[in-house]
Structure formats: C-alpha cells, structure tokens
C-alpha cells in the first residue's frame, strides 16, 4: 500500500514483526479471544491503535494519534475532506477522515473492527479522492473477492486474518452483516418529525387538519404541515420532500378533491416509497369520501385521474400517473380511519392521536441499550418475516427470564410492523392473564388488529363469520410476549390461518414445549464477555466501555451476570454514579446473595414448576450443577425421584442445559435456587432441606457434639 493510504505505513509501531518475518497479531487475536472477532458469523477485521474511530451524525471518522503517521500526509485528500467539515469534526486539531458506507465500524475492548458488505468498490469507498492509493487496491465488487480486497487494504495485517477464511464463507457472512440495521437505526435517530400530514388545503385545512395538528402538538408530537413549517422564500418541493423523508409517520387525509391535486399525488407517491424503503407508518384518513372510492378510483377520483391521463405528456408523464395510481391504491388499502364510521369529527381526531401515540410509545419502549449483542438474532428473525411467503408463519423465541426475548421481539416489531396491514404487540401475557382473563386479552388483540378498541367477543370461538372474514383479509404482525401455557396460546390464536396471507406471529416464552409446533424456533444465548461489558457499561457509565479506574471492577460485575442482560442492566443501573468503595461493597454482596429484582424475575420460573420438578431443580441447584446427567439420574432415581422426567422438563423450561451429558445451570438460577432453600430456615442451616456449604455442615456437626469431622 502507498504511504498516503488509510492505514499507518510499514514501520509504524503496530506493524511490528516477529523474528520469523510474519506479521504479529495483537493479543486480541489469541485463541482465547478469537470468538470476539468471529462474532455470530460476522467476520470483523481488527484495526489496532493508534487509529481511533468515532461518529459525527451518520458518518464515521478515524483519528490517527501519531503525529508522524503518514495517514494524514495526503494533502489533497485531507484538504478536500476537512474543508467541508464542521469545526467540531476537527477535534483538537486531529483531522478525522470520513469513511462512507458500506463500511461499518464497531469496537471490542480497546480494538476497533470494520465490516464491509458488497456490492461496493471497497477501495474507492475507503480512499475517497486518493487516486494513487485507490489504484493499488482491488476494485472488484463481487462478493467472492472480498478477502483480496481486505488484504489489499492492509496486506501485512489483513492476510494474517482473512486469507485463512474460505471466500465462499466470507461471501455468505457479509450477506448477513447488520449494516442495514445500523444504518436504519442512525437514520431513525435523526428523523426531524414524528408526523407528516398530507392533505389538500381547500378541502380540510380550516377545520379537521387544524384540529388534528393542534391535538398532536398538544401531546408533544412534532408534526409537519406546510403552512406551519415552510420559511419564507423556501422552495416548496424540496422542503416537503425532506419533511416526508424526515418523518416517522405519515397521515394521508383523503378528501373528495385530493386526487385532483398533482402536488398531493406526488406526496402520496413519495410517502408510499418511504413505507417500502424504510418502513414508515402510513395512516390513511377518509374524510367525506368512502375508502372504496379511493381504492378503486371511482367518483371524483375517476374524474381526477381522467384529467391527469389527458394532460399533455410534456408536462405530466404517463409513467408518473401510473406511479400515483399504484401509490394511492396501496395507501387506501391500509388500515386507517373512516369519518363515516367515527362521529363526531372530534372523536375521529382523538382516535388518530391515540393510534400515533401508541406507535411512538411502543417504538421508544425498545430503543435502549438492551440490544447489545442481539443484532444477529434480530436480522435472522427479520429474514423469516421478509421471506416472501404467503403462508401464515409462526416464530418462537425461547429463553430463561431476563435473557432479552422481549427486547428482541420488540425491536423486530418496531422495525417491521409498518409493512403489515395491522399489528399488535401483546406484552406480558402471563401478568395480564393473572390480572384479567383470556377473553379480555383476546379482545385487546382483536381490537388492535381490526381497529375496534371496544370490541367484545366472549365466546370460546373467535367470533362471527364476519369477524373471521375481516381477519382473513388482513396481513398482520402479532407478538405474544411471555406466554406461559399452551392454553393461553391456543385461546389467543385458535388457528393462525384465521389471519391473511403473509401474516407473521412471534411468540416469546420460557418453555420450549409451548412453541414445539411453530414453524421456526430460536433459543436465547448468553452475551459474550465483550458484549456483557458493553451492556453493563452503557448502564453504569452511559458509554460503551468503563473508565480505566473502574475497568477491573466492571469486569467483576460483568462476570457476576454470566451473560444475562437483565442482571447486567440491574447491576449497572444500581452502581451508576457510585464511588469505588461502594462498588467494592456491592460486588462483595453479590458473591453471597442475589439482587431482589433479579431474584423475583427468575423466581417466576420456579413457581410454575410442579412439586417433582421443584425438587429436581433444588437438588441440581444445591448439589449437582455441572455433574453427569446419567450419574445424577441414577442417584435421584434411587431416592424415588423420577429424574429423567424432571430433567427434561427443566431443559424445556430453559432452567438448565445439557452439554456432553453434563447438566449446566446458569449461575444466577443456581443462586436463586439456593436462596429458596436458605429461606426455609434463614438462621439455622440444620433445619434446611439441603446443605452444600462445608462450613455450615461442619458447624452443624460440631453443635451436635461431634468434633471428629475433618
């Protein structure tokens, strides 16, 4: 590579060589840590210090901390980039060069990694205007050549990593990268408006739309309408186009003369394109016009399009009119609001505002730090949702309490629900069932799907033939969160085929037996060490990694959680803004006891076991965790306990796992089980059903006058 490239030249401190002449890998590439690089199949190539990476807006930048490094010596490239950057980008005089998509950057510990996804001229993307350096790298864009592109970017270092990877494997890995997820998350965080309202001014500006706008603003919802937001002298077309692109939700108010406005037609066409490209939620409102008139282009809509068709081709292209027709029909087919069915108009406004609030609140519910390490699973679930099948498909996500099932389902729901006619996220099915009943839960589900909040069906079946027919016409996305019994599932769903073609149903549960008949299943795994530290740090320090003085303490805290997201978040939030001494004290307590919030979440799983399963669980937690299954089963069977049945039930309920005939229980579940036994007699161990602590056993024998025990 030329010295004007994006990586430090040969001879730079980190380009050191062993006596063999081969490149020396940083310690992060040791055998013990290699799993951090091959994370979920995402091949990530290390870029060691002194290069540092950061983000400004949607762009990613690097800073080279070495003043002598040749990375900053390319004057042409440096000047062409830095002259266009805000002074904030020129951080302390250290010039940071933008790396445009499709290259993405992430960090593990102190190291930084990049991923690239084809098709892309990777070299030109990285080197930008540096023609000399660009010519030295491969410009092929086919996925099979990714390894050579990476090697050409850093021949010495890259070859030691990427050349040992099969090109075909690399190609498939790159296809599964989370570039789309990251880019859409960044884009969503930069959206300027919550709602864009499309309407024809003379029809509705003075009454309905103004009331809707005022109510949305009163609820704190940032809303765009052209009369409010356009500054004097601003061109209307670019401004409205940017507003549509910069909104989470679009409300299209169809009125009698809406289609006669070319401007309105262009708006709805762009709105539907945003729905297709990034899942913008579109809510049609039919004000003084029937949905079928809009959908099938009759009445005033037929007259309007007849005029568009006859317009001179020089001013109005036929292709554009086709695009308008398609967009209008798609928009009118979505679940929305009909003014003839909801009266007076004030009630219609209330319903629209409530629907928008519900969407925005559910979206913010899952946009938090809880998704660290979960991107690969999110993408895999989304792949099933987007596979193009017209079959009604069911997806199950199973894992122990606090493992992140709800967060995964919530993010998938937020990212995908706009692509369906109707949707419903039914949270905490277990808790809601205990508070109310299954009929009430099902009415909530049907009410959201059909747009009838006051629906009341009390029969065991799902309702009348009319209700079932309406459901069969809707492509729906449903999430049933925290289902605890097959009875709950069957009552809420009855038959998945009740819903329209292409519908998707996601079920989260702690019990694998509940989802045994679904089409696809996923089991939640614990977070890796690096992701555990990142999630903990985001809660404790509001940043990705701990400060130096807290690093070792943070490692201890992350190790305590053993990859359980709930425990990481609870402990991180508790320790936030506390002193080092308070950290030391809290972590010492963690060794012997379990946080109450974590205990209560895990205890729910234990409470749902039958008596024999509880006995088996406590025996494993107190005495046999890590032991051979066959030995434990033989011992428990000799005590009259049906071990095989109990062990299988605990596996299905995500309370233990089996690996090489050994029983493994999560450390926090084990602590929870032992805490349950301690509560049998908090002060007198001799009255407990099980003893495992040597000091307590020894003390009990001494109390009986037997001091001969060693």
Active site positions, annotated? 267
Tallying the residues shown for the chain, one arrives at 710
> Between the CA of residue 14 and those of 43, 50, 424, what are the distances in Å?
21, 8, 52
Structure tokens given for 44: 């990530």
386 Cβ partners below 8 Å, 6+ apart?
416
Side by side, the strands of the sheet bearing 193-198 are 223-224, 193-198, 247-254, 281-286, 337-338
* Residue whose C-alpha is closest to residue 301's, from 317, 282, 288, 313: 288
- Between CA 89 and CA 452 the distance in angstroms is 51
Which residue's entry shows tokens 């510990």? 109
Q: How far is CA 535 from the centre of its chain?
A: 14
- Between CA 77 and CA 70 the distance in angstroms is 12
- Residue spans of alpha helices (H) in 163-225: 167-175, 179-189, 201-204, 210-218
3-class secondary-structure state, position 700: helix
> Between the CA of residue 641 and those of 609, 612, 636, 637, 648, what are the distances in Å?
15, 7, 5, 5, 13
Classify burial at 667, counting beta carbons within 10 Å of its beta carbon; exposed 0-12, middle 13-18, buried 19 or more.
middle
- Between CA 424 and CA 88 the distance in angstroms is 43
Cβ-contact 406, 431 below 8 angstroms = no
* Residue whose C-alpha is closest to residue 520's, from 623, 394, 425, 364: 394
* Residue whose C-alpha is closest to residue 270's, from 256, 297, 252: 252
670 membership: H or E segment, kind and range: helix 667-678
Q: How far is CA 440 from the centre of its chain?
A: 29
Q: What is the DSSP string of 619-668?
A: HIIIIITT-BHHHHHHHHHHTT--HHHHHHHHHHTTS-EEETTEEE--HH
N- to C-terminal Cα distance for the chain? 69
534 membership: H or E segment, kind and range: helix 529-540
- SS3 of 234-286: the string is CCHHHHHHHHHHCEEEEEEEECCCHHHCHHHHHHHHHHHHHHHHHCCEEEEEE
3-class secondary-structure state, position 52: strand
3-class secondary-structure state, position 232: coil
């Amino acid at each position: 590579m030329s010295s004007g490239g994006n990586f430090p030249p040969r001879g730079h401190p980190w380009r050191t060589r062993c006596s063999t002449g081969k490149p020396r890998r940083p310690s992060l590439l040791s055998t013990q840590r290699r799993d951090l690089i091959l994370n979920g199949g995402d091949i990530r190539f290390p870029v060691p210090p002194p290069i540092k990476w950061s983000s400004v807006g949607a762009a990613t930048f690097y800073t080279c901390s070495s003043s002598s490094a040749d990375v900053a010596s390319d004057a042409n490239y440096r000047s062409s980039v830095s002259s266009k950057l805000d002074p904030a980008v020129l951080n302390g005089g250290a010039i940071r060069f933008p790396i445009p998509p499709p290259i993405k950057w992430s960090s593990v510990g102190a190291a930084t990694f990049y991923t690239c996804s084809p098709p892309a001229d990777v070299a030109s993307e990285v080197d930008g205007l540096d023609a000399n350096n660009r010519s030295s790298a491969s410009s092929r864009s086919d996925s099979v050549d990714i390894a050579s592109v990476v090697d050409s970017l850093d021949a010495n270092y890259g070859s030691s990593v990427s050349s040992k990877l099969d090109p075909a494997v690399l190609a498939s890995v790159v296809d599964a990268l989370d570039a789309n997820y990251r880019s859409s998350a960044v884009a969503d965080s930069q959206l300027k408006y919550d709602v864009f309202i499309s309407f024809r001014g003379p029809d509705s500006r003075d009454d309905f739309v103004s009331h809707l706008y005022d109510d949305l603003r009163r609820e704190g919802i940032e809303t765009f309408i052209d009369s409010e937001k356009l500054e004097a002298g601003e061109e209307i077309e670019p401004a409205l186009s940017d507003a549509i692109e910069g909104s989470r939700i679009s409300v299209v108010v169809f009125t009698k003369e809406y289609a006669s406005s070319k401007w309105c037609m262009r708006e709805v066409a762009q709105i539907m394109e945003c729905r297709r490209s990034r899942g913008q939620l579109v809510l049609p409102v039919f004000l003084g016009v029937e949905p079928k008139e809009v959908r099938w282009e009759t009445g005033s809509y037929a007259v309007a399009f007849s005029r568009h068709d006859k317009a001179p081709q020089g001013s109005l292209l036929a292709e554009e009119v086709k695009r308008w027709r398609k967009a209008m029909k798609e928009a009118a087919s979505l679940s929305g609001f009909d003014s003839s069915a909801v009266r007076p108009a004030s009630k219609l406004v209330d319903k629209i505002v409530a629907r928008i609030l519900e969407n925005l609140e559910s979206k913010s519910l899952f946009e938090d730090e809880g998704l660290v390490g979960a991107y690969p699973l999110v993408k895999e679930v989304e792949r099933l949702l987007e596979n193009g099948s017209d079959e009604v498909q069911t997806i199950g996500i199973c894992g122990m309490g606090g493992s992140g099932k709800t967060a995964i389902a919530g993010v998938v729901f937020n990212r995908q629900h706009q692509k369906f006619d109707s949707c419903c996220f039914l949270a905490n099915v277990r808790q809601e069932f205990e508070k109310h009943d299954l009929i009430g839960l099902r009415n909530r589900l049907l009410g959201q799907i059909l747009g009838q909040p006051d629906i009341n069906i009390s029969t065991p079946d799902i309702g009348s033939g009319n209700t079932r027919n309406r459901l069969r016409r809707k492509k729906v996305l449903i999430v049933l969160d925290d289902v605890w019994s097959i009875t709950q599932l069957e009552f809420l769903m009855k038959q998945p085929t009740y819903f329209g073609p292409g519908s998707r149903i996601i079920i989260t549960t702690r019990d694998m037996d509940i989802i045994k008949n679904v089409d696809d299943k996923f089991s939640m795994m614990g977070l890796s060490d690096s992701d555990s530290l990142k999630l903990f740090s985001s809660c404790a320090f509001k940043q990705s990694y701990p400060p130096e003085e807290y690093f070792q303490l943070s490692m201890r805290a992350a190790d305590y959680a053993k990859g359980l997201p709930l425990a990481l978040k609870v402990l991180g939030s508790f320790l936030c803004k506390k002193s080092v001494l308070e950290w030391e004290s809290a972590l010492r307590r963690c060794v012997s006891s379990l946080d109450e919030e974590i205990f209560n979440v895990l205890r729910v799983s234990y409470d749902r076991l039958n008596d024999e399963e509880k006995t088996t669980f406590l025996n494993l937690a107190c005495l046999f965790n890590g032991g051979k299954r066959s030995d434990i089963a033989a011992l428990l069977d000799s005590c009259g306990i049906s071990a095989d049945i109990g062990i299988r039930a605990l596996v299905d309920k995500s309370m233990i796992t089996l690996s090489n005939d050994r029983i493994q229980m999560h450390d926090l579940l084990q602590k929870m089980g032992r805490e349950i036994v301690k509560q049998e007699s908090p002060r007198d161990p001799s009255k407990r059903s099980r003893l495992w602590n040597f000091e307590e056993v020894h003390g009990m024998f001494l109390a009986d006058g037997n001091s001969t025990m060693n």
